[in-house]
Copies of this chain bind each other. A is one copy, B any other.
Amino acid sequence: MKELINIIDKKLDEYMPVCYPEDIFKAMKYTLSLPGKRLRPVMCIETARLLGCNIDKVLPSACALEMLHVQSLIHDDLPCMDNDDFRRGKPSNHKVFGEANAVLAGDALLTFAPQLIIEKSKELSAEQIVRILHEYTKFAGAYGLIAGQVVDIESEGGKLVKSPEETLDFIHLNKTAVLFRLAVRIGVICADGDEKIFNEFDDFATKFGLAFQIYDDIMDEISTFEELGKSVGKDEKSGKLTYVSLYGLSEAKNKFARLIQECYDIIEKYNSDIFREILKKLKNRILG
C-alpha cells in the first residue's frame, strides 16, 4: 500500500502545476501536498485493478478524487464553517493563504479535478469519461458531499428537519460515505465492470464510509491532536450530532465492528491485500 501511496503522491505533484497567478496554484498545492492516507484514490485504483484495469487508465480519476476531498477540507476549515486552524498537523489553508484565496483554491480544485480527468484519461472512451464526470458532479454537489455538509452545520445549530437518527444517517452517508462510493464506482467504470459488480462495490463503499465516519466520531472522543493532526474533542464542545453522542461509545463500537465485518464479507472473494490492510488498520485502532 505504501508503494501505491507513493505513486499517487508523485502523480498529484506532477498533475498540479504552479503557474501565474502563483498564489492560487500554491494554495491548491499546499493542502494537496500535506501527507495523507490517500484512501479515496487507493480504493479507486484497487477496485479498478481487481477488475483487470491497468493503473494508468485510472490514475487521473483517482487523483481527481483526492483533489475533490482536499477541496472539501479547505472549505470545511474556513472560519464561517468548522473554523479549524489545523489540518493534517499543519495550519489550515486559510491560515496560510488568507480566506479569499482559500475559498478560491477550493473552487479551483473543484473544477481542476474534472479537467484533469478529461485531459489525462487518454485510454478511456468519451462515454466512460461522461459517466465518470456524471458520478463526480452528482456526488460532489448538492446531491452528495455538500448536502452532507449543510445538514451537518444545521444539526450543530440544533436545526433538525428529520429525526436525529435519520439526520445522522444522512450526514454520514453524504458527508463521508459519498466519496468512498464515488471512488469505487469510478474504479468500476474505468474497468468496464458490469452492473452487478458496480452495485457490489457500491455496497462495500457505503458500509466502509459509515464505519469510517463512526471511527472518526470515536477518535474525536478518545484521541489526541498529535495522533490526528487536527483539533479533537470539538464534536462534544460544539454539541455536534455524532454516532457517539447519539448512541454512546459502546454502541458506536459495536456498530463499527458490524460494519467492518460486513465489508470483509463483501470484498473477501476478491482476495485484495490492500482492502484487507485498510480494514484491518481501521479495525485495530478502535477495537485493538
Check A111/B110 contact, CB under 8 A, given A25-B142, A151-B21: yes
Interface centre among A71, A75, A80, A125 (most CB of B within 10 A): A80
Complex interface: chain B residues within 8 A of A114 (CB) = 114, 133, 137
Q: Which residues of B contact A136 (CB under 8 A)?
A: 111
- Which residues, 93 to 108 on A, are CB-close (under 8 Å) to B? 98-101, 103-104, 106-108
- Report the separation of the CA atoms of residues A30 and B169 in the bound assembly, to the nearest whole angstrom: 28
**Which residue in chain B gives the minimum CB-CB distance to A147?**
B21
- The one of B25, B81, B119 that contacts A134, using a Cβ cutoff of 8 Å: B119
Given A21-B161, A130-B130: A80 touches B107 (CB 8 Å cut-off): no
> Is B24's CB under 8 angstroms from A147's CB?
yes
Interface size class of A (residues with CB under 8 A): 35 or more
Q: Shortest beta-carbon distance, A111 to chain B, in Å?
A: 4
Option from B80, B140, B142 in Cβ contact (under 8 Å) with A99: B80
8 Å CB interface, A140-162 against B:
140-142, 146-147, 149-151, 153-154, 161-162
Please give, as numbers and ranges, the residues of chain B lying within 8 Å of A134 by CB-CB distance: 115, 118-119
Complex Cα gap A73–B179 (Å): 28
Chain A residues at the B interface, C-beta cutoff of 8 Å:
20-25, 28, 71, 75, 78, 80-81, 98-101, 103-104, 106-108, 110-112, 114-115, 118-119, 125-127, 129-130, 133-134, 136-138, 140-142, 146-147, 149-151, 153-154, 161-162
Q: List 15 A-B contacts (CB under 8 A).
A: A21-B150, A23-B154, A24-B142, A24-B147, A28-B142, A78-B103, A81-B103, A107-B141, A110-B141, A114-B133, A118-B130, A118-B133, A126-B129, A129-B130, A130-B130
